[in-house]
Homo-oligomer: A and B are copies of this chain.
């Protein structure tokens, strides 16, 4: 599996993804799921991917060929981010349909992929879209400034509790890393290295990229700190009334 999260803030975008791919327990390997595209100063995009690896690579190859072969292609010229999401959704549908034969060859096989597209086109606001395997897509809202793909549930509570559109880029990054750490603790199919991309609004270039492998000091620090802090948070919870009732005074 996979876990990727994209966060859209007033200050910009934060994107975080894991790097574990598996096709059965004896075929676990590392593949980055974060792919950047764009033209510095004009438009920047990043794609996070979850699902079938062959389809993902086919979609990315088609996008890269388009950008290389046709300077006027959709991705290079679209006015709006949702047009780019539409276009990637179409490519994804086509690639999936090439390899799915319904009730055919292999009943357990699924060519499906989901993407998170983040980015900004000059003169437009930055944003994030979740592109479903069906090719349609959704974006964030004020109440829900984040989107997730892959193993989304383990890490959702902390995002729900912390994130608002006013959260700083750094706090949002920490929150995504805690969300990722909780997911890795509870599910072995999600694993390091963790890739982090931070985009400051209107910069039209990717400002910070971190690749945190298992031994990375910051990943270790945040993991140990969170584990300790959560334990303290837990120990500070109110007691039940029967725990408070002690022996009568004077004894």
Nearest CB to that of A177 among chain B residues? B237
A180 CB to closest chain B CB (Å) equals 11
Q: Is A218 an interface position by the 8 A CB rule?
A: yes
A229 CB to closest chain B CB (Å) equals 3
A243-B158 in contact given A233-B232, A233-B233 (Cβ < 8 Å): no
A218-243 to B contact mask, C-beta < 8 Å, 1/0: 10011001110111111011111111
The CA-CA distance from A170 to B244 in the complex, in Å, is 12
A240 CB to closest chain B CB (Å) equals 6
A237-B226 in contact given A154-B153, A157-B185, A186-B153 (Cβ < 8 Å): yes
A169 CB to closest chain B CB (Å) equals 10
Main secondary structure of the interface of A (DSSP, over half): helix
Whether the Cβ atoms of B160 and A234 lie closer than 8 Å is: no
A164 CB to closest chain B CB (Å) equals 12
The CA-CA distance from A34 to B242 in the complex, in Å, is 22
A181 CB to closest chain B CB (Å) equals 9
Whether the Cβ atoms of A157 and B154 lie closer than 8 Å is: yes
Q: Give the residues in chain B near A238, CB-CB below 8 Å.
A: 218, 221-222, 225
Q: Give the residues in chain B near A241, CB-CB below 8 Å.
A: 218
Q: A237 is contacted by which of B161, B186, B229, B231 (Cβ under 8 Å)?
A: B229
Whether the Cβ atoms of B234 and A222 lie closer than 8 Å is: no
Q: Is A96 an interface position by the 8 A CB rule?
A: no
26 contacts between A and B (CB under 8 A): A153-B154, A154-B154, A154-B157, A155-B157, A156-B186, A157-B157, A157-B182, A157-B186, A160-B186, A161-B230, A161-B231, A162-B231, A170-B240, A174-B237, A178-B234, A178-B237, A222-B237, A222-B238, A225-B236, A225-B237, A225-B238, A229-B234, A229-B236, A229-B237, A230-B233, A233-B233
* 8 extra A-B contacts, CB within 8 A, seeds A154-B157, A175-B234, A178-B234: A154-B156, A156-B186, A170-B243, A222-B238, A226-B237, A230-B230, A232-B233, A233-B233
